[in-house]
């Protein structure tokens, strides 16, 4: 195993209708299963939490790649995480669409930097070959 940089923890109880709390208490939310795209305003869900982490990690990786390529950019990354029916076992699987808006470079350069970020981002590495991730890049 590679050298560990850090470890964080979160504890859940009650599953999708329960509660999750991070080791430092910053994440401390009730969970509920959404009905379609209707997400209650007083609770979260595992997909929303995963989307938050992936968006933050990817945007950081994107900005690092831009910096390494001497590009000054502003970016915003939205991770749209979907819970999908899995036809293989009649269960569920995840799908992700990363929507990245970039200011400071043209469309071609923005796409190049997003691809580099996708190769570098730990979440992208973890999902590669396991989760369908599509990239949607818009240069502004």
What are the pLDDT digits (tens) for 55-87?
999 999 999 999 999 999 999 999 999 999 999
How many C-alpha atoms does 56 have within 13 Å on its Cβ side? 6
What pLDDT is stored for residue 27 in this prediction? 96
- The reply to whether 30 and 56 lie within a common domain is no
What pLDDT is stored for residue 2 in this prediction? 86
- The reply to whether 51 and 119 lie within a common domain is yes
What pLDDT is stored for residue 110 in this prediction? 98
User: Where does the chain show beta strands of DSSP type E?
Assistant: 10-13, 19-22, 28-30, 74-86, 91-103, 132-139
- The reply to whether 92 and 108 lie within a common domain is yes
Q: Which residues of the chain have pLDDT under 70?
A: none
Domain count, the chain: 2
What pLDDT is stored for residue 44 in this prediction? 95
- The reply to whether 32 and 60 lie within a common domain is no
CATH number of the domain to which 132 belongs: 3.30.300.20
What pLDDT is stored for residue 4 in this prediction? 94
Which of 139, 1, 133, 140 lies closest to 55 in space, CA to CA?
Answer: 133
What pLDDT is stored for residue 12 in this prediction? 97
- The reply to whether 35 and 57 lie within a common domain is no
- The reply to whether 59 and 126 lie within a common domain is yes
- The reply to whether 19 and 52 lie within a common domain is no
- The reply to whether 117 and 79 lie within a common domain is yes
What pLDDT is stored for residue 35 in this prediction? 81
* pTM for the full predicted model: 0.94
- The reply to whether 93 and 130 lie within a common domain is yes
Domain with 20 in it: 1-39
- The reply to whether 8 and 58 lie within a common domain is no
CATH number of the domain to which 4 belongs: 2.20.25.10
């Amino acid at each position: 195993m590679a050298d560990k940089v850090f470890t964080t923890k979160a504890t859940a109880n009650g599953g999708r209708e329960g509660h999750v709390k991070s080791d430092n208490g910053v994440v401390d939310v009730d969970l509920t299963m959404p009905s379609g795209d209707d997400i209650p305003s007083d609770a979260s869900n595992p997909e929303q939490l995963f989307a938050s982490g992936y968006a933050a990690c990817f945007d950081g990786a994107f900005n690092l790649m831009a910096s390494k390529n001497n590009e000054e950019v502003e970016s915003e990354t939205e991770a749209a995480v979907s819970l999908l029916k899995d036809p293989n076992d009649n269960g569920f699987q995840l799908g992700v669409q990363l929507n990245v808006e970039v200011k400071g470079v043209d469309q071609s350069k923005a796409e190049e930097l997003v691809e580099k970020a996708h190769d570098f981002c730990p979440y992208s590495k973890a999902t590669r070959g396991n989760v369908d991730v599509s990239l949607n890049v818009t240069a502004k």
